[in-house]
Chain A
């Protein structure tokens, strides 16, 4: 036995392996993409080995994201609710709304830095980024589109035949390929380029003003326990003392766990881009960040699931003003204007 024959046999085995994996991974001739992320960040929770990023996969995902054909009456796309100007939240809308004017029950969460997030939705009910888009697609008051019908619709579409072939090597449309492509596009939505980030990495000539620095001090004292740097969320679900709203009857994570200990617990949202992504809270009840400050200062509900970290919090007018100035440094203008995320023209 010599090295050469061993090599030939190994190559043959790899060839067989290649055949058995055909149709699962990226197609031939794709251009692989590596996300450029700041070195200081932890490893993403999303496992890219099962969905390697490619230029073609991202392009397919972006087309899907902006295509209203993903909804029953072809009126609502993902991008309809998740708008780039609002950090992929819904500008000026308290509640999500869907096909035939149907109204949702919760506000639209922003979309960025999703690959570090382990569960999704306001109540953490969705356990994987791959299966997250299924929720709004199927929900009656959102896109109301049965998955099997959607797959049929895309199969018959020439543009998708081209896009799927480019990304996966064959025209075959499956729900798995569709979801993985949507994730590819959403995975590129990375926001770590705000003024705060420039200050933190010591970019020349950038520093907090006295007001911003004061706000950062207040933030670290009173907010950072839940809105943890660098993501400005710890990804947990907590009760922040927001009063229960009888007409919405939404008890948050308790709906998922059936555990009264989870009464009124909602996912802690990131504060990055917070000033461009009003309205606030799971039901979008506050259109102004100062209403949120006022809630923490004197509008909290008492209750045994209210988080000890925010109980009886006080925010003086000066602290509120300075906090506002600090939160303003978390707006990532490059993210909000990046053309790689902008709406694409859907051709049919």
Chain B
């Protein structure tokens, strides 16, 4: 009996000691703060504004100083420019110690894309789910550009697709030293730069492509672009 009690107190004790890390997200465009109605430029010279910017983050893992990878239990977060609360992510279940890198997925993994009706951040009421060709929209950017030939000069990029040739989930890995201790919560400041969506390896011209809302080649290219959107801001 005593041994069993000891075992349980160890379990509980371990849970109490295991600490959290807080990720704070800041949205930028070409290294300037993201603001509604502000005009930005692509590297190709198109001007544009952003009215909607949201994306899923999931499948977090951490690399410790010895190079061992620690994967957290699955959790899904919907980050949205218009929600301050969504830009603070608290991850729990990390052991004490020093870490050197963080890794996560932009989007929702294929398993969760075919497991039926979900709740929480994955609730389809948030408008991040395709109903005609089931699957989550991994990331969404809407706005306007004078170069767009869509009605109202709209920009509408809904990037999704989780199977076959058109998989738009992207894994990001960022080196960042931090320590999980019993005394204070570790904090990591992440910057997501929306300018990367249209620059980078696959330049987008709004006169040709002002929107994309199916799984497909253009979505894959934009996902490749925005896989470089995150960086760490040191304080």
When the two chains form their complex, are residues A9 and B8 in contact, meaning their CB atoms are under 8 A apart?
Answer: yes
A127 touches B125 (CB 8 A): no
Asked if A127 and B134 make an inter-chain contact with CB atoms under 8 angstroms apart, the answer reads yes
Stretch at the interface among B91-99, B115-123, B188-196, B198-206: B115-123
Contact B4 A176 (CB under 8 A): no
Query: A5 near B: Cβ within 8 Å?
Result: yes
CB neighbours of A174 from chain B (8 A): 119, 123
List residues 43-60 of chain A with CB under 8 A from any CB of chain B.
Answer: 47, 50-51
Inside 8 A of B113's CB, which chain A residues have their CB?
A: 127
Q: Does B129 contact A (CB under 8 A)?
A: yes
Q: Please name all residues of chain B whose beta carbon is closer than 8 Å to the beta carbon of A222 when the two chains form the complex.
A: none
B227–chain A nearest beta-carbon distance, Å: 22
Q: Are B116 and A134 in contact (CB under 8 A)?
A: no
Complex Cα spacing A188 to B117, Å: 19
B117 and A138 contact, CB distance less than 8 A: no
The answer for the CA separation of A51 and B118 in the assembled complex, in Å, is: 12
Contact of B146 with A by CB under 8 A: no
B118-A176 in contact (CB<8A) = yes
> A17-35: which have CB < 8 Å to B?
24
Q: How far is the CB of B123 from chain A (nearest CB, A)?
A: 6
Q: A9-B4, A151-B125, A174-B123 are in contact. Are A130 and B116 (CB under 8 A)?
A: yes
Measured between beta carbons, the chain B residues less than 8 angstroms from A278 are: none
Contacting residue for A125 out of B2, B116, B117, B132, CB 8 A:
B132
- Pick the most buried of B126, B133, B134: most chain A CB atoms within 10 A of its CB: B134
Are A126 and B134 within 8 A (Cβ)?
yes
Minimum CB–CB distance from B6 to chain A (whole Å) comes to: 11
- Asked if residues B129 and A134 are in contact (CB atoms below 8 Å), the reply is yes
Q: How far is the CB of A249 from chain B (nearest CB, A)?
A: 16
Least CB distance, A93 to chain B, in whole angstroms: 21
Q: Give a binary string over A55-77; 1 marks a CB under 8 Å from any B CB, 0 the rest.
A: 00000000000000000000000
Central interface residue in A2, A139, A174, by most chain B CB within 10 Å: A174
Q: Which residues does chain A contribute within 8 Å of B116, judged by CB atoms?
A: 47, 50-51, 128-131, 179
Q: Give the residues in chain A near B4, CB-CB below 8 Å.
A: 1, 5-6, 9
Known: A131-B134, A138-B131. A147 touches B114 (CB 8 A): no
A50 to B116, CA, bound (A): 10
In the complex, what residues of A have CB within 8 A of residue B3's CB? 1
Alpha-carbon distance between A121 and B131 when the two chains are bound, in angstroms: 11
Give the interface SS of chain A, mostly helix, strand, loop or mixed: helix
For the complex, give the distance between the alpha carbons of A126 and B164 in Å: 15
**In the assembled complex, which residues on chain A have CB atoms less than 8 Å from the CB atom of B1?**
1-2, 5
Chain B nearest Cβ from A105, distance in angstroms: 11
A126 with B131: CB separation less than 8 A: yes
Are B114 and A134 in touch, CB under 8 angstroms?
no
- How far, in angstroms, from A133 to B93 measured CA to CA in the complex? 37
In the assembled complex, which residues on chain A have CB atoms less than 8 Å from the CB atom of B127? 147-148
Which of B2, B113, B131 has most A Cβ within 10 Å? B131
Contact present for A175 and B123 (CB under 8 Å):
yes
Closest Cβ of chain B to A48, distance in Å, is 11
Nearest Cβ on chain A to B219's Cβ, whole angstroms: 11
Is B131 in contact with A139, judged by CB distance below 8 angstroms?
yes
CB within 8 Å of B: which A212-256 residues? 255-256
Bound Cα distance from A2 to B4, whole angstroms? 10
Chain B residues closer than 8 Å to A162, beta-carbon distance: none
A252 → B minimal CB distance (Å): 13
A135 contacts which chain B residues (CB < 8 A)? 131-132
Answer whether residue B177 sits at the interface, using C-beta atoms and an 8 A cutoff.
no
A51 surroundings in chain B (CB, below 8 A): 116
B123 close to A258 (CB less than 8 A): no
Q: Is the CB of B123 within 8 A of A176?
A: yes
What B residues does A131 contact at CB under 8 A? 116-117, 124, 129, 131, 134
**What's the minimum C-beta distance from A253 to chain B, rounded to whole angstroms?**
10
Please determine whether A147 and B134 come into contact, CB atoms closer than 8 angstroms. Answer: no
Chain A nearest Cβ from B197, distance in angstroms:
22
Q: A257 an interface residue at 8 Å Cβ cutoff?
A: yes
Residues in B with CB closer than 8 Å to A148 are 125-127
List chain A residues, Cβ under 8 A from B126: 148
Q: Mark B160-175, 1 if CB is under 8 A from A, else 0.
A: 0000101000000000
List, in ascending order, chain B residues with CB within 8 A of A129's CB: 116
The docked-state distance in angstroms from the alpha carbon of A51 to that of B132 is: 23
Contacts of A151 in B (CB 8 A): 125
* Most chain A beta carbons < 10 A, residue from B1, B2, B115, B133: B133
Q: How far is the CA of A51 from the CA of B123 in the complex (A)?
A: 16
With the chains together, A2 CA to B3 CA distance in Å?
12
**What are 7 sample pairs from A and B whose C-beta atoms fall under 8 A apart?**
A47-B116, A127-B134, A128-B134, A131-B116, A134-B124, A255-B133, A258-B215
Q: Which 10 A-B pairs have the closest CB atoms?
A: A130-B116, A130-B117, A179-B117, A127-B134, A148-B125, A125-B133, A1-B1, A128-B116, A176-B119, A135-B131
5 other A-B residue contacts (CB within 8 Å) besides A50-B115, A179-B117: A130-B117, A131-B129, A135-B131, A139-B131, A258-B216
